[in-house]
Structure 1
Amino acid sequence: MRIVNPSVTKELLKQYRVTLRKRLGQNLLVDPNILDKIIEVAQIREDDCILEIGPGLGALTQELVRRARRVVAVEYDRKLCQILKEIFASTQNLLVINADLLSLDLASLAQEHTLTKVVSNLPYNIASTAALRIMEECSNIAEMTVMVQKEVAERMAASPGSAAYGSYTLKLRYFAQVFPLFQVPRTVFLPPPGVDSTMVKIGRDTYWQKVYPVRDFLFRIIELGFGQRRKKLVNCLYSGSALRLSKEDVVQALNSAGIDISARAEELSLEKFVQLGQALWPLLHQSSTRFNNKSPD
């Protein structure tokens, strides 16, 4: 019996007296056609160890354990965890963990269970943060096939100059490439959420980490640039001496990176931000030396 069925899902909710909570993003997939498409694009191999986040009643879990070597399902809701353990009591390759994913040491979790992929209908309330943290902290996870809100998917895959393009886009792109796969209407969930969703593939890409490993500084520049996105980048970086650089230093770095001094952050690709970081870094240290050696009044 497949769990991904409206009548089966309703019966389970009734049997276990479960009230789904909107604030936790508890919207259960009840369309078998959508589930089949997810499994198809996830390309699960027999040796995969998969992380599922927010399994709910186990509709996706049921398909994952049939295909993967091991599935680790992290569920925040204690009652749903108890139900999952009961439903899958005889399943040997499933571990259900009752926890808030964002409170876990994700790197340790991934290493301990040799996780290779994430396949999940991500809870809306943690989707964007979870995707970025996993790519940032879990180097052995090669890819994520996940469902997120349509708006979040647009932010993930946005291009420079678009309204959805921002610091989140660039940070995720530093670790991975994002490929939107297909749209998912709100009508295939119980209860229906207030927004449509998109299935995306997030594939690890280490290119930019090798080109520019000074991640914290790069992210600082990106955050400053988008902190006031309608301001020119030169003013964002200089304003309030955010980097303790003179305006002349910032202009010099922009010129070195081949960036017009009238440009705004939303116009720059990750490549340009990396080039800007490479130009600013030595100036930052020169400025620090000048500041430390400055004679007191």
Structure 2
Amino acid sequence: MSLPDEAAIKRIIKDNSIRLDNHAGQNFLIDEAVLRSMVELARIQPNDTVVEIGAGFGTLTAELIKRAREVIAVEKDKTLARCLKERFGGQSNFRLVNDDILKFKPDVRPYRIIANIPYQITGKIIRKFVSEEERKPADMLIMVQKEVGERVCARPGQMSLLAIWVQLYSQPAIVMPVSRQSFWPVPKVDSVLLSIAGIKPDPLYPLKDFTAFWRVLRVGFSSPRKQLRNNLVAGLRIPSKEVARALAQAGIAEKARAQELSISDWIALANSPRGRVDP
């Protein structure tokens, strides 16, 4: 296991006329200890199919190829994709997809996602594969910003839409902190290795009406600093007394804010007759 250092990466960039896109969050892993831990925590099996998002220079790709049955490397940057093809094109278990990951449609099942993903679209990537994609991965082990990892794993009191969507379908956990010094260029924030395990095609909680759940959730978080009651009155366009009764039916405090509720609280609210009032 050998990683290119900062000097080696700069040389590769110069030799291939690569222009780094700061807006895309291109930060390359240069810490061998972190790579080793990531591979160990992934527990890759010989029959695994792994999708890697933003394969970059192929640092992680090389280790995945050694262990998995098939590695599908998705890389949007055309120059980086060409470098990946030149390096791994002769490997029988390597497949390159030169495309935007948000447009990528998996054609295999089951599969896993193991990646150091672009930080600027982290939330979109997680939502796509955990709650929106028809063919969901079995699990994900991804490098994300520390703040995002904490948001995904939040408990009642600090909940967000992202946390609810992920926890509705899976079991997320932060498995390792990663210093910003482990990357080049050095990002402005520290990272964490985030495990999203046991991803299911359907919600892990009993939902009577998914549309009602989504509507109440979206309206509830429309102004997180405001009390939930005020958001529901304005967003669902129903009288304050009706909202108060719906909250009482669900066992939710009248002055509660959206981030204070658990997933079970939201489901109770959406499943209540008044939680399903049309806007």
Q: Structure 1-normalised TM-score?
A: 0.86
The 1-side partners of 2:57 and 2:199 are apart by 33
The within-5 A match list for 1:166-245 is 166-206=160-200, 208-209=203-204, 211-212=206-207, 214-239=209-234, 242-245=235-238
Structure-2 change in CA distance of 1:82 and 1:24 (3 Å):
same
The 2-side partners of 1:201 and 1:213 are apart by 29
Q: What do residues 256-281 of structure 1 show as CA deviations (whole Å, max 9, x unaligned)?
A: 11112121111110110011110046
Gaps of 5+ in 2: none
| 2:95 aligned with 1:132 | no
The 1-side partners of 2:70 and 2:274 are apart by 44
Deviates more, 1:223-232 or 1:194-203: 223-232
* 1:94 positional shift: 1.0
Aligned counterpart, 2:239:
246
Larger fraction in helix: 1
Aligned counterpart, 1:85:
85
* 1:79 positional shift: 0.7
| 2:257 aligned with 1:261 | no
Structure-2 change in CA distance of 1:83 and 1:52 (3 Å):
same
The 2-side partners of 1:283 and 1:99 are apart by 40
Select 2:155's aligned residue among 155, 159, 170.
159
CA contact (8 A) 1:4 1:32 kept: no
The 2-side partners of 1:278 and 1:131 are apart by 26
> Identity over aligned residues, as a percent?
33
Aligned counterpart, 2:9:
9
SS at structure 2 position matched to 1:148: strand
Between Structure 1 and Structure 2, how many residues are aligned? Answer: 277
SS at structure 2 position matched to 1:216: helix
| 2:131 aligned with 1:118 | no
CA contact (8 A) 1:153 1:198 kept: yes
Aligned counterpart, 1:278:
271
The 2-side partners of 1:253 and 1:205 are apart by 31
The 1-side partners of 2:190 and 2:15 are apart by 29
Q: What do residues 51-81 of structure 1 show as CA deviations (whole Å, max 9, x unaligned)?
A: 1100100000000011011111111101100
Aligned counterpart, 1:291:
none
CA contact (8 A) 1:51 1:115 kept: no
The 2-side partners of 1:198 and 1:210 are apart by 27
